[in-house]
């Protein structure tokens, strides 16, 4: 495949942008080689700066659940553009999207829009601290909640890919208040609550982890977490920035039937534009400024463009059968991959839920912990990634990211992907 234009753009980018990218995982550090530059997206496909077409399993890191350039989303954006980009004041569409979010995710009684997932988690944590008048917080190993200072402790996603779960520039005092526990480990949870429970402002968790590849928690683990938080008066925050409207219409909380106190959202709710949201119990949300003492604000919050795209997206994915089809597509894909890996004699395990999946080059039959995730064979992934790319399939450039399918992925795209995978697995055993 000719990548001449991407190379040229990357060389130029390296001069003016740190590492040539505006977000770390885009730099291909986890897989080697030069990152691709893209010029267009069409349904399930991405087109790079050299005109090569790829079946896209990144979907802008989650938002594009309808695929690229969905006609309804594009026309909603065009309609709004004709009326203005932003007013710095309230709009009817904001009320509509808030109503819609509260309907779809019943644990959310009130919601506030922000501009990114990072802002959503940062605000939710401040709110939980203000509400409980406690300082300590808990997160889980391998979970990523954006680049919030106090949460960059054993984080997933780019921080994991780069082998630097902790960031320079974060004062130790900021993370001294953050406890980190192993994911899916009930005894560790019980121990911390027995010791510190009454001092914990909140626990923040990805209720299905998608930033250490894809790891699904046990029902008992999430239930224990809910029970312990209730018992000790700690706020339970489900960070559904990735899983919200991705694994099911009601998010991971509807899959497990567990009600958090606060939920953070992002990605899908913006339809591909910069949006985040946090919401939950009315009593807690009442603590926010201007009526409450917890300050939170945003110049571009509730941007009419983002709201137009997000609302159209939410209305479209609310149609009956949407998630059955999305889940079937993802299942057909991972089943097909497993079959081909087995035929080639390559150890390979998958996790999948709704439109989200994970692949592991691992001998283990099930992957449920961070410790298992980091044993994923990254050398095999690297070879697989480049073979897939050369055969027209774009995967997240890291062994520690989840994959996404969209409603635009059909039989043709899955078949093309499986054919590429057959070649990639074949090369791994030769």
Task: List the catalytic residues.
Answer: 144, 239, 267
The H-assigned helical ranges of 273-393 are 282-285, 304-317, 322-344, 370-373, 378-390
For ligand PLP, the binding residue among 242, 258, 311, 334 (CB under 6 A) is: 242
For ligand PLP, the binding residue among 70, 129, 134, 145 (CB under 6 A) is: 145
Nearer to ligand PLP, 251 or 392 (CB): 251
Nearer to ligand PLP, 241 or 248 (CB): 241
Stretch that binds ligand PLP, among 31-39, 115-123, 244-252, 318-326 (CB under 6 A): 115-123
Number of residues that bind ligand PLP (CB under 6 A): 15
Nearer to ligand PLP, 228 or 241 (CB): 241
Task: Provide the minimum distance between the beta carbon of 117 and ligand PLP in the complex, in angstroms, as a whole number.
Answer: 2
Nearer to ligand PLP, 396 or 408 (CB): 396
d(CA 42, CA 49): 14
Task: Provide the minimum distance between the beta carbon of 239 and ligand PLP in the complex, in angstroms, as a whole number.
Answer: 5
Stretch that binds ligand PLP, among 138-146, 303-311, 338-346, 412-420 (CB under 6 A): 138-146
Q: By CB under 6 A, is residue 144 in contact with ligand PLP?
A: yes
Nearer to ligand PLP, 35 or 210 (CB): 210
Q: By CB under 6 A, is residue 279 in contact with ligand PLP?
A: no
- Are the beta carbons of 396 and 54 closer than 8 angstroms? no
d(CA 127, CA 262): 9
Among the listed residues 151, 86, 63, the one whose alpha carbon sits nearest the alpha carbon of residue 355? 63
d(CA 20, CA 181): 34
For ligand PLP, the binding residue among 35, 59, 67, 146 (CB under 6 A) is: 146
Q: What angle do CA 208, 209, 215 make, to 5 degrees?
A: 90
For ligand PLP, the binding residue among 130, 210, 244, 260 (CB under 6 A) is: 210
How many other CB atoms are there within 10 angstroms of residue 196's CB atom? 15
Buried b (16+ CB within 10 A) or exposed e, 161-175: bbeebeeeebeeeeb
For ligand PLP, the binding residue among 207, 266, 279, 304 (CB under 6 A) is: 266
Q: By CB under 6 A, is residue 312 in contact with ligand PLP?
A: no
d(CA 76, CA 54): 26
For ligand PLP, the binding residue among 6, 52, 107, 121 (CB under 6 A) is: 121
Distances in whole angstroms, Cα of residue 411 to Cα of each of 217, 405, 423: 30, 12, 19
Q: By CB under 6 A, is residue 41 in contact with ligand PLP?
A: no
Stretch that binds ligand PLP, among 97-105, 139-147, 296-304, 367-375 (CB under 6 A): 139-147
Task: Provide the minimum distance between the beta carbon of 93 and ligand PLP in the complex, in angstroms, as a whole number.
Answer: 20
* 47: phi then psi, degrees, rounded to nearest 5: -120, 125
Q: By CB under 6 A, is residue 158 in contact with ligand PLP?
A: no
For ligand PLP, the binding residue among 3, 6, 91, 118 (CB under 6 A) is: 118
- Are the beta carbons of 396 and 405 closer than 8 angstroms? no
Q: Which long-range contacts (CB under 8 A, 24 or more apart) does 286-293 make?
A: 286/110, 287/127, 287/130, 287/131, 288/112, 288/127, 292/130, 293/130
Q: By CB under 6 A, is residue 117 in contact with ligand PLP?
A: yes
For ligand PLP, the binding residue among 3, 80, 161, 211 (CB under 6 A) is: 211
For ligand PLP, the binding residue among 94, 141, 206, 413 (CB under 6 A) is: 206
How many other CB atoms are there within 10 angstroms of residue 407's CB atom? 21
Q: By CB under 6 A, is residue 213 in contact with ligand PLP?
A: no
Pairing between strand 200-205 and 136-140?
parallel
Q: Facing residues of 235 across strands? A: 202
d(CA 289, CA 183): 33
- What residues have CB less than 8 Å from 197, skipping those under 6 apart? 228, 231, 232, 234
Q: By CB under 6 A, is residue 59 in contact with ligand PLP?
A: no
Nearer to ligand PLP, 23 or 412 (CB): 23
Nearer to ligand PLP, 44 or 151 (CB): 151
Nearer to ligand PLP, 27 or 424 (CB): 27
Q: By CB under 6 A, is residue 63 in contact with ligand PLP?
A: no
Binding site for ligand PLP (CB under 6 A): 116-118, 121, 144-146, 206, 210-211, 239, 241-242, 266, 276
């Amino acid at each position: 495949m000719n990548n001449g234009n991407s190379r040229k753009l990357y060389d130029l980018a390296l001069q003016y942008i740190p590492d040539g990218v505006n977000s770390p995982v885009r730099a291909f550090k986890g897989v080697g080689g030069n990152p691709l530059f893209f010029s267009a997206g069409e349904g399930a496909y991405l087109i790079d700066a050299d005109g090569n077409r790829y079946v896209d399993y990144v979907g802008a890191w989650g938002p594009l659940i309808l695929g690229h350039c969905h006609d309804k989303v594009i026309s909603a954006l065009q309609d709004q553009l004709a009326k203005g980009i932003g007013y710095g004041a309230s709009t009817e569409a904001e009320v509509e999207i808030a109503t819609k979010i509260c309907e779809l995710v019943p644990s959310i009684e009130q919601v506030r829009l922000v501009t990114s997932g990072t802002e959503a988690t940062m605000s939710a944590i401040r709110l939980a601290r203000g509400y409980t008048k406690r300082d300590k917080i808990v997160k889980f190993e391998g979970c990523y909640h954006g680049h919030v200072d106090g949460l960059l402790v054993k984080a997933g996603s780019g921080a994991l890919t780069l082998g630097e779960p902790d960031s320079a520039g974060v004062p130790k005092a900021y993370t001294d208040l953050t406890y980190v526990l192993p994911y899916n480990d009930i005894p560790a949870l019980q121990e911390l609550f027995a010791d510190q429970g009454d001092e914990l402002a909140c626990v923040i968790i990805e209720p299905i982890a998608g930033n250490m590849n894809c790891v699904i928690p046990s029902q008992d683990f999430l239930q224990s977490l809910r029970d312990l938080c209730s018992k000790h008066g700690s706020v339970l925050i489900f960070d559904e920035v990735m899983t919200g409207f991705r694994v099911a219409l009601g998010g991971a909380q509807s899959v497990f039937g567990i009600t958090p106190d606060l939920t953070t959202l992002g990605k899908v709710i913006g339809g591909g534009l910069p949006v985040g949201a946090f919401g939950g119990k009315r009593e807690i949300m009442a603590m926010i400024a201007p009526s409450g003492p917890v300050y939170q604000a945003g110049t571009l919050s509730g941007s009419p463009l983002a709201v137009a795209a997000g609302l159209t997206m939410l209305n479209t994915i609310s149609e009956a059968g949407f998630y059955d089809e999305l889940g079937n597509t993802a299942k057909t894909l991972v089943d097909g991959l497993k079959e081909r890996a087995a035929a080639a004699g390559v150890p390979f395990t998958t996790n999948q839920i709704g439109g989200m999946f994970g692949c592991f080059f691992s001998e283990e039959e099930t992957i449920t912990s961070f410790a298992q995730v980091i044993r994923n064979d990254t050398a095999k992934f690297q070879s697989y990634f480049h073979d897939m790319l050369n055969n027209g399939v774009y995967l997240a450039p890291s062994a520690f990211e989840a994959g996404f399918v969209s409603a635009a992925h059909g039989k043709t795209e899955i078949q093309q992907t499986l054919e590429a995978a057959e070649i990639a697995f074949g090369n791994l055993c030769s």
